[in-house]
Chains A and B, each alone.
Chain A
Amino acid sequence: MTTTTEFGIVYAVHIITTHFGSVVSKVCDCLLRRGPLSSREISRLAESDINHNKVKDILCLLIHQNCVQAFSVEPPDGSESKATVQYIALFSNILHRARYSKFAKVVNEELGSQCGGVLEALLSNGRLTLEQLIDRDRDSKKSIGSEAMRDSLEKLVAARFVERVPSPEPVLGNKEEGPAQKKRGAKASKIFKEPESLEERILEAATPVDAIRFPIIFEQDSSSALADEDSNVSEKKRKQPDVDSSGPSNEVIWRPNFEELIRRLRHKACVEIVKERRDEGCANVLKAMLEVGRTQEKKAKTDKSVPMSMGSIYEELIKTDAGREMTQERVEECLEQMSATSSYLPAFVIETDDSYIVDFKSIFSVAQKDEMESVVMRRYGKEAFRMFRYLSQEDRFVETDKIADAALTEKKDTPQILLKMWKDGYLHMQKLAVTGVYMPFLLWKVNKLIVSRQMLDEMCHASLNVSLRLTHEMDSEKELLLLPMEKLEGALKERRIKNRAKIVLLSSTRFKLDDAIMLFHDF
């Protein structure tokens, strides 16, 4: 699931440095580069002199901010050794820190500004109990009161934007029977699923069942069966209905549910792509389809939605103003349009019997292709763009001369252009030596997985660069930025305006770049 690239790590460490300082970032860097480690190993391996106690404090901070997850592995049967606690950095959650404003916007739009405020408090603090949220509200200038706070939190949990914190230290089963499983024959290979990464296994083990993760709070008492013994949740006791009477020790701790927040951004991006590639009507129908299938999506990065009937889509559609303007016939037309496939656009919706399935993978493949091709066009030129598109279409190894013929490019220049793209990791090349021919034939191919990884790495690099440049621009005019605009005149005023324009451009670019990173990493 998580593909960490070199600049992905550098970018993640940069985010941690700006939020928590360089010492914390060293621990994070160590975990990102070396994988899961115990606290002792971290204090030994982290580059600077960080003692064990300090490492523990840093790990506590990173866990509190949802950037690190602790776990332990069950010792093998018969072994007397104790399971040691290890820590794993959650790369995706670190990158999410750069998109908190997007998450807050999603909640503001759907549940209103009060809920948005509660989510923002949780995002900036990492984890909070209701009591802590109420205390914070009491101290703020725009206090909304404890009842409103409780209502907002209830709404956020019901909409799954907020969840109960996961198990602090899940125990992983000792899974060493990998090769033995393979021997189970053809039947097993047919149902063989891609193995889960360690991070996925840890997160799965740490996540409590839905009834505990999203409890119907405030309606049940402390003896609620929701907090079961095996849930591994430290805050097992349910919160008392009376917020004032309960101490922090037995209160439920809440945190933002990134899975749901990313799902909403994913759906929004899907609707945008369909709107650009088809029309407003299709986008409205797709939006309704996503709403129908959302609750049944098991993970955020799902390839296909559940099948849904025309009736259920239309029922959902007429709940919106735009949907009420559409007749069922028009909806059918849109569905037909989205089911159509051509060499230019794949089908966004799959029609099966009387139901329809949203093909997320194909929708995002279109946007990813656009992103890749526009980079090829800008960096290597029009000829390279044609060659890249031709090789993407062919999806096999093609000889240099054939590429030149298909793309109508000068045969002498073609190898140089292809070599440039190959050097940057945008093409895959193989040499084919033929007896009697002095020069080996060069065969080329676009390997989408490799290109996606390369793009993700470069985009993280670019995002890091934009962020560093933004800091540089802000620091260079630090004093000028402190002065009120109305007091500035002439050249100084102009300088301030220019600096402001630079900051706006860099900030909006970082925002858009993050959308592109999500397209390749989170969607």
Chain B
Amino acid sequence: MSKRKRPEPKSSSSGINEDEKNILGLIRSKQGMGATTYEMRTATKIQPTLITRAVASLKKSSLIKEVPNMNNKGIKHFLAVEFQPCKELTGGDWYIDGALDVSKIEGLKEICVRILERLKSKVVTLDVIYSYFEKASSDGDKLSREQTREILKNLVLDNVVMEVKSNGLTDFSATRIGEICYKLTGKKSGGGEARDGAFALVPCGACPHIGLCTPDGVISPTTCVYFQKWLDF
């Protein structure tokens, strides 16, 4: 005759025990970041086996959900169902399944450059670019204002676009004085082009082993393969 399993003591009418209640409270307090089992153990001092059981029970009751950390897939974060995972866990808007959507970003950057090239005034405000993405036909190209700003800022870091303040004259006639505008870099846009560095044009400028290179060493300018390639006419 099998022994009847003793039911676990339930503390409240909602059907969860004391441990589960403590863990749920902790998870809720962590909002979008959630809590890892390690954090639960240190914060509540509950036995690891009981934590595993409580987490499984809370998941079964659909009170919490499991979200992987994009920085470390081995670490699982448990969030209360009412919260969305925060940027630190998912990586942000530009991440899909924990990986940066590089092709989408590059595509959007290309669109921005094309818009700037086509415009007669050569100067554009964030709103103009945003309105283009707002009206975009495909969902993939639809961007929020903040995302549009991020794309433009990224083009600035690429040194393809520059940020300028409107002075209300000539090219800026359609903008408010002092408003931040964007224009392409390069000779025609009046900002000039960044010069090619003399050092970068020598193999040593790009050499990963320059620290190991000495006149009579194993890596030396007379035996250097990069030099050989560079001087191979």
Contact = CB atoms under 8 A, between A and B. Distances in A.
B211 A424 contact: yes
Given A277-B192, A461-B210, A465-B221, A386 B157 contact: yes
Contacts of A406: 153, 157
A513 B105 contact: no
Contacts of B231: 469, 473, 502, 505-506
A406 to B, nearest CB: 7
B88 A401 contact: yes
B191 A344 contact: yes
Given A342-B162, A344-B162, A501 B196 contact: no
Contact of A344 (B87, B92, B185): B185
Contact of A461 (B192, B201, B204): B204
Contact of B165 (A279, A337, A342, A506): A342
Interface in B197-223: 197-202, 204-208, 210-211, 213, 215, 220-222
Contact of A374 (B150, B154, B185, B194): B194
Interface in B80-112: 87-88, 91-92, 94, 99-100, 102, 105
Contacts of A469: 221-222, 224, 227, 231
Contacts of B94: 408
Given A512-B198, A512-B201, A516-B199, A458 B71 contact: no
A343 B162 contact: yes
Contacts of B222: 468-469, 472
B100 A410 contact: yes
A375 interface: yes
Interface residues of A, number: 59
B199 A375 contact: yes
A10 B216 CA distance: 13
Interface string A53-83: 0000000000000000000000000000000
Given A367-B195, A408-B100, A459-B199, A379 B215 contact: no
A332 interface: no
Contacts of A458: 199, 204-205, 210
Interface string A487-522: 000000000001001100110010011011000000
Nearest to A344: B162
Contacts of B196: 374
A242 interface: no
B202 A462 contact: yes
A417 interface: no
A268 to B, nearest CB: 15
- Of B71, B99, B204, B210, most A-chain CB atoms within 10 Å: B204
A409 to B, nearest CB: 7
B191 A465 contact: no
A95 to B, nearest CB: 15
A379 B197 CA distance: 12
Interface in A362-378: 367, 370-375, 377-378
Contacts of A464: 215, 221
Given A371-B199, A373-B159, A462-B202, A411 B105 contact: no
A35 B75 CA distance: 57
A360 interface: no
A49 interface: no
- Of A279, A374, A409, A455, most B-chain CB atoms within 10 Å: A374
A277 B190 CA distance: 7
Interface in A389-423: 389-390, 401, 405-412
- Of A406, A408, A411, A472, most B-chain CB atoms within 10 Å: A408
B26 interface: no
Contacts of B191: 277, 342, 344-345
A411 B71 contact: yes
B195 A502 contact: no
Interface in A424-464: 424, 455, 458-459, 461-462, 464
Given A461-B204, A472-B222, A410 B197 contact: no
A46 interface: no
A34 interface: no
Contacts of A385: 157-159
Given A367-B195, A375-B205, A468 B221 contact: yes
B209 to A, nearest CB: 11
Interface string B57-97: 00000000000001100000000000000011001101000
A408 to B, nearest CB: 5
- Of A377, A406, A462, A473, most B-chain CB atoms within 10 Å: A462
Interface string B105-121: 10000000000000000
A343 B163 contact: yes
Interface string B8-25: 000000000000000000
Nearest to A515: B198
A514 to B, nearest CB: 9
- Of B88, B156, B192, B224, most A-chain CB atoms within 10 Å: B192
B164 interface: yes
A375 B200 CA distance: 5
Nearest to A420: B208
Given A371-B197, A374-B194, A468 B206 contact: no
Contacts of A371: 195, 197-200
Contacts of A412: 70-71
A466 interface: yes
B219 to A, nearest CB: 10
A85 to B, nearest CB: 33
A462 to B, nearest CB: 4
A378 B88 contact: no
6 contacts: A278-B192, A345-B192, A379-B207, A458-B199, A509-B202, A512-B201
Interface of B: 70-71, 87-88, 91-92, 94, 99-100, 102, 105, 150, 153-154, 156-159, 162-165, 185, 190-202, 204-208, 210-211, 213, 215, 220-222, 224, 227, 231, 233
Given A371-B200, A411-B71, A513-B199, 14 more contacts: A276-B192, A344-B191, A345-B192, A370-B194, A373-B197, A377-B200, A378-B200, A379-B205, A386-B154, A458-B210, A465-B224, A465-B227, A502-B233, A516-B197
Interface of A: 10, 14, 273, 276-279, 337, 342-345, 367, 370-375, 377-379, 382, 385-386, 389-390, 401, 405-412, 424, 455, 458-459, 461-462, 464-466, 468-469, 472-473, 498, 501-502, 505-506, 509, 512-513, 515-516
